[in-house]
Structure 1
Amino acid sequence: MSFPWAKHYAPTNPLMKWMDERLPVPRLVYNAVGAGYPVPRNLNYFWNFGVLAGAALGIQIITGIVLAMHYAANGGVAFDSVEHIMRDVNAGWFLRYAHANGASMFFIVVYLHIFRGLYYGSYKAPREMVWLLGVVIFLLMMATAFMGYVLPWGQMSFWGAQVITGFFSAIPGVGETIRVWLLGGFAPDDAALNRFFSLHYVLPFVIAAVIILHIWALHIPGSNNPTGVEVKGEQDTVPFHPYYTAKDGFGLGIFLLVFAGLLFFYPNYLGHPDNYIPANALSTPAHIVPEWYFWPFYAILRAFTADFILPAKLWGVLAMFGSILLLFFLPWLDSSPVRSNNFRPKARIAFWILVLDVLVLGYCGGSPADPAYVIASQIASIYYFAHFLIILPMISRSERPLPLPNSITEAVLAKHGGTSPAQTALSTQS
Structure 2
Amino acid sequence: MSEHLKTNNALIKWIDHRLPVFSMMNETLVDYPAPKNLNYWWNFGSLAGFALVVMIVTGIVLAMQYTAHVDYAFNSVERIMRDVNGGWLVRYIHMNMASFFFIVVFIHMFRGLYYGSYKSPREILWMLGVVILLLMMATAFMGYVLPWGQMSFWGATVITNLFSAIPVFGESIVVWLWGGFSVDNPTLNRFFALHYLLPFVIVGVVVMHLWALHRFGSNNPIGIEANGHQDKIPFHPYYTVKDAFGVGVFLLAFSGFLFFAPNFLGHPDNYIPANPLVTPAHIVPEWYFLPFYAILRSIPDKLLGVVAMFASIGILFILPWLDRSPVRSAKFRPVYKWFFWLFFANCILLGWVGQEAAEGLPLILGRLATAWYFIHFLVVLPLLGVMERPKPLPVSISEPVLSGGGGLAAAAAKPMEKA
In structure 2, relative to structure 1, the CA distance for the partners of 1:233 and 1:147 (3 Å cut) is same
**Counterparts of 2:85 and 2:13, CA distance in 1:** 44
Give the structure 1 partner of residue 324 of structure 2: 335
1:19 matches 2:8: no
Instruction: Report the aligned-residue RMSD.
Output: 1.5
Task: Report the CA distance between 1:228 and its aligned residue.
Answer: 0.4
State how far apart, in whole Å, the 1-side matches of 2:11 and 2:82 are. 48
Structure 2 residue corresponding to 1:299, chosen from 286, 289, 294: 294
Shift of 1:367: 1.2
Preserved CA contact (<8 Å) 2:164 2:170: yes
How many angstroms does 1:189 deviate by? 0.7
**1:351-390 aligned within 5 A:** 351-390=340-379
**Match for 2:59 among 64, 68, 80?**
64
Q: Write the letter of the residue equivalent to 1:128.
A: E
| CA deviation string 1:358-401 (max 9, x = no partner) | 00000000112222111111000000000000001100111110
1:239 pairs, out of 223, 226, 234, with 234
Q: Which runs of 5+ in 2 are unaligned?
A: 410-419
Which residue, out of 413, 419, 422, partners 2:402? 413
Query: CA 1:50–1:153 in structure 2 vs 1: closer, same or farther (change >3 Å)?
Result: same
Number of residue equivalences:
408
Residues 28-427 of structure 1 aligned to structure 2 (within 5 Å): 28-34=24-30, 36-305=31-300, 312-415=301-404
**Shift in Å, 1:411:** 1.8
| 8 Å CA contact retained: 2:394, 2:407 | no
Cα displacement (A) at 1:186: 1.6
Write the distance in 2 (CA, Å) between the matches of 1:353 and 1:187.
Answer: 42
Runs of 4+ with >4 A deviation: 419-422
Q: Name structure 1 gaps, 5 residues minimum.
A: 1-5, 306-311, 423-430
1:186-240 deviation per Cα after TM superposition (whole angstroms, max 9, x unaligned): 2111000000000000000000110000001000100000000101121101100
Secondary structure, in 3 states, of the residue corresponding to 2:81?
A: helix
SS in structure 1 opposite 2:216?
A: coil
Distance 1:179 1:25, change over 3 A: same
In 2, the alpha carbon distance for the partners of 1:150 and 1:317 equals 20
Please list the CA deviations of residues 5-26 of structure 1 after superposition, one character each: whole Å capped at 9, or x if unmatched. Answer: x982344433332222101111
* Superimposed CA distance per residue, residues 237-278 of structure 1 (whole angstroms, 9 cap, x where no aligned partner): 110000000000000000111111110000000010110000
**SS of residue paired to 2:219:** coil
Give the whole-Å Cα distance in 2 for the aligned partners of 1:184 and 1:265.
Answer: 39
Between 1:7-16 and 1:70-79, the stretch displaced more is 7-16
Q: Distance in 2 between matches of 1:186 and 1:364?
A: 32
Q: Which amino acid aligns with 1:388?
A: F
Give, in angstroms, the shift of residue 420 of structure 1: 7.2
User: What residue is the counterpart of 2:415 in the other structure?
Assistant: none
Normalising by structure 1, we get a TM-score of 0.93
Counterpart-to-counterpart distance in 2, 1:237 and 1:261: 36
SS at 1:39 equivalent: strand
Provide the rounded CA distance (Å) in 2 between the counterparts of 1:161 and 1:239: 47
CA, structure 1 residues 17+421, in 2 after alignment: closer, same or farther (shift >3 Å)? farther
In structure 1, C-alpha distance between the alignment counterparts of 2:74 and 2:269, rounded to whole Å:
13
Give the match for residue 428 of structure 1.
none
Take 2:154 and 2:14, find their aligned partners in 1: how far apart are those partners? 58
State the alpha-carbon separation in 1 of the partners of residues 157 and 408 from structure 2: 64
Greater mean alpha carbon deviation, residues 406-415 or residues 138-147:
406-415
Question: Contact 1:413 / 1:420 at 8 angstroms: preserved in 2?
Answer: no
Q: 1:362 to 1:182 in 2, by over 3 A?
A: same
C-alpha displacement of 1:44:
0.2
- Distance in 2 of aligned mates of 1:128 and 1:241: 27
Q: For the residues of structure 2 that align with 1:275 and 1:195, how far apart are their CA atoms?
A: 20
What is the CA deviation profile of residues 131-162 of structure 1, one whole-angstrom value per residue up to 9, with x for unaligned ones?
A: 01000000000000000000000000000000
Question: Is the 1:409–1:420 contact (alpha carbons within 8 Å) kept by the matching residues of 2?
Answer: no
Distance in structure 1 (CA, Å) of the matches to 2:271 and 2:403: 56
